[in-house]
Structure 1
């Protein structure tokens, strides 16, 4: 490689690093908060007088570092921090979202009080036609969908749930505050969003999602069965272990 070519290569590298440091500084300082849309490639090209390849390289590097989320056809956005949840705890999503300084939002999508169906029996371990409450809702963080909640409550175990309309207070928050439990089970899985989930979570079809299924009992009697669906980039689960004997 000639001396001139080496100087040119070094200049391009320096420009790429300068652009990335500039954008990182705006994100880390809070000037560009979570959810902020970054300039498009052509806007970066105009601002920094760089090639499209350089602009794309900067955005790709920021996405790889976890600072930026790239959405097809929508642009690049400052990534929202993940919620870290302890696997062996029963979390309150409202409290978790607010603990990281984000505005919490909630919408009740459906509420049905009915007799248990055969499908309900498989989820909640109740007898056919026993009274249950089925609730579907969505939790938001920073005005963006954060989780879908699909919950069944055993009204024989928690009859007071029938008096709650859950239009303002989420069932997860109400249960944490009012209903003690003695045993719980978690099941964690990952899947790609279908059209329905993608629409409700405002993500692309095929995006990675985290599903957390949870069951709680009180002295052997089932209380609730719930399935939470999170966009994969917004939630992770943490557990600390000690060596067993």
Structure 2
């Protein structure tokens, strides 16, 4: 077979399979046709097909299982509902460059809403941090976080310039319990501006509270444009 044609066919197979996965035609768990089937369909060598599937596997789009074939993987920009997920790892799993920036940071007395969100005592102080997480230079997630200074006094001097608040907190204090709340919302003015999306764009919001043995640690609200993120939970039947 002509080498130029072989290269063209290899890329055509990659593009065709990737297109079907991205469009949703082949959902997560779907079995990709076997190598022999693809060889016949594209009238090419098995080596060409193998090279295409290897490229797709390296990109994280498919999973190759010995003796079983190749299957569409779950989207990598997913997080388990019951896990404390790492946004940087999510972005990097998409093969995109990760970065973050702090839009606002302030220490202040907790107001009534802060007290409700963190179950604080009257007169408590908090640090409020608003960050934008970027994927490939584009806004990926808005993080709005409150940190209790009664539980984490070190947060008063932290500027979070080099480490996102979530990662910083994990290094500072172990959490003993957490609560997640998930909802769909329409992007408001500030969120739309910081995420560079149209106002009222459908978004997925994950709110989380964590506690340590000392007391409430943090309340955080993550806002994702609706097409940027998904949540998944795995569970077993109740005994």
Q: Provide TM-score, normalisation by structure 1.
A: 0.66
2: CA distance, partners of 1:148 / 1:131: 23
What pairs with 1:153-168 in structure 2 (closer than 5 Å)?
A: 153-168=147-162
Instruction: Note the alpha carbon deviations across 1:39-96, whole angstroms, 9 max, x for none.
Output: xxxxxxxxxxxxxxxxxxxxxx9985489xxxxxxxxxxxxx6611011111121222
1: CA distance, partners of 2:140 / 2:85: 14
2: CA distance, partners of 1:101 / 1:122: 39
Moved more, 117-126 or 222-231: 117-126
Q: Is the 8 A contact 1:147 1:201 kept in 2?
A: yes
SS in 2 for 1:233: coil
Number of aligned residue pairs: give it: 181
Q: Is the 8 A contact 1:94 1:173 kept in 2?
A: no
2: CA distance, partners of 1:166 / 1:66: 42
1: CA distance, partners of 2:77 / 2:150: 33
Cα distance, 1:229 vs structure 2 = 0.3
Q: Is the 8 A contact 2:173 2:212 kept in 1?
A: no
What pairs with 1:1-245 in structure 2 (closer than 5 Å)?
A: 25=15, 28=18, 65=24, 83-219=77-213, 221-245=215-239
Instruction: Return closer, same or farther for 1:177/1:98 CA change in 2, 3 Å cut-off.
Output: farther
Q: Is the 8 A contact 1:106 1:139 kept in 2?
A: yes
Instruction: Return closer, same or farther for 1:178/1:111 CA change in 2, 3 Å cut-off.
Output: same
1: CA distance, partners of 2:17 / 2:153: 48
Return 5+ residue gaps in structure 1 as ranges. 1-20, 30-60, 68-80
Instruction: Return closer, same or farther for 1:147/1:161 CA change in 2, 3 Å cut-off.
Output: same
SS in 1 for 2:92: helix
Cα distance, 1:208 vs structure 2 = 1.2
SS in 2 for 1:174: helix
2: CA distance, partners of 1:211 / 1:124: 18
Partner of 2:66 in structure 1? none
Instruction: Note the alpha carbon deviations across 1:173-218, whole angstroms, 9 max, x for none.
Output: 1122332011000000001223332221122222210000000011
Q: Is the 8 A contact 2:77 2:93 kept in 1?
A: no
SS in 2 for 1:90: coil
Return 5+ residue gaps in structure 2 as ranges. 1-10, 27-74
Q: Is the 8 A contact 2:76 2:94 kept in 1?
A: no
1: CA distance, partners of 2:214 / 2:235: 26
SS in 1 for 2:227: helix
Instruction: Return closer, same or farther for 1:63/1:102 CA change in 2, 3 Å cut-off.
Output: closer
